[in-house]
Structure formats: C-alpha cells, structure tokens
Chain A
C-alpha cells in the first residue's frame, strides 16, 4: 500500500504569492492533518480534517486555509506568503477514531517551501 503522498516535494515562491500544497492519505484513512516544521523545530499543528469537516485549527493566521475532498485528499493553501512561511509542510493521515481516542499519525515526506 502507498503511504501518505504529498506534492510538490519542493517549491520556491516569492513574498506575497500564494501556494497550494496537496496530500493524499493512506487508503482507508479519513482524517488528514497538516503540520508546519520550521528548520530545527518540532512540527506545529495547523489543521485537522475528518470526514471533510475541519475538526481543529492551530495558532496560524487566516492566510492559512485548507479543505478535504470527498476522496479524503486535502489541500493546504497559504496566501500572501511571508519569509517566515518557509518550512517543511507535513501532511499526516490516520484511521477513523473511536470517541475520545487518538489514532496513530502517519506522515508524508512533506513539501519544502522556500519563500524568497
């Protein structure tokens, strides 16, 4: 089975531009989460989607948005890019969760965004 796949793997943008990152979860996984990992730091939670609904949002500005499609793939959009948005953007998927329990997250290889 394929793992979590993300595209593009690398991209370079300039300040003020917009970027769309894409993620396909492991087959059968209905939950997709997005994390930002700045060099030398741990991943930071941006969004979680479950069954196409936003279930959680981290402390990120409204320039960051996401959605999940009927096939459970997801897009992360970032508008008006800033230099500080340069990071590795990780997508993770997990199986449907029982009430009150957290499932294992499987991460993709990430999309490395450089903002010049």
Chain B
C-alpha cells in the first residue's frame, strides 16, 4: 500500500548548524513531494516542494533533493535559527488524472534549534 516513512522523529541542533530530514515512499507513481512546517497549534504550511522531473530545488536556506530510483527525498535546512523549531512533515502524492491530489504524509520530525 501507499506509505511514507520519515526519519528522524526528533532532531535537536545548535543554532547555525544544518538539519537534514529524510523520507522514503512506497508508491512509484508518486510525482509530487511537498514539505510542510507545522508550529504548535497551527496549520501545516508549505515550505518547499519538488516534482519528479527535478532532482533538486533550493529556496534560500531550504533545499530538497529527490532520488526517484531509490524512492528517497530529503529536506536540508542550513544555518538553522530558533524560529525553525517546529514539526516538519514530508508527503508524497501519486499521479492521478481528473483532479485527484491525495497526499500521503510521513509521521513528522520535531526539530528543536537551541540558541
């Protein structure tokens, strides 16, 4: 069945260090891979996404890489800041026609950035 595994479940770093979160997915038909940040009591907010025709995408301190052969994708945050502390979710979406856009989410990574 469709599944997304996310590691680690918790990550603690010092301010200024880098953080890496990794996900694997099972459905080879997946073609869209977003990352969401969710602060306590808030909605999930999209921070970056990548489609299967691209191997890497970067937006300032955030980058995502995708290896379709291995069914892996990763989130990289450089120069971490205390405000980066939150729960991060990866997700994968299979390619379906007709306006279907189901996301399969990972279990989340709680990132703590210490000053």
Q: A residues touching B (Cβ–Cβ < 8 Å)?
A: 30-31, 33, 35, 40-45, 48, 50-51, 55-56, 58, 90, 94, 96-97, 99-110
Contacts and interface: CB of A to CB of B under 8 A. Distances in A.
Given A42-B89, A42-B105, A50 B100 contact: yes
Given A42-B105, A100-B97, A104-B34, 4 more contacts: A45-B104, A97-B99, A102-B93, A105-B101
Main secondary structure on A side of the interface with B: loop
A42 B96 CA distance: 22
Contacts, number: 80
3 cross-chain pairs, A with B, having the tightest CB-CB distances, nearest first: A42-B105, A50-B99, A102-B32
Contact of A107 (B6, B32, B44, B96): B44
B44 A90 contact: yes
B98 to A, nearest CB: 6
Given A104-B34, A109-B43, A31 B99 contact: yes
Contacts of A42: 4, 6, 89, 91, 105-108
A105 B97 contact: no
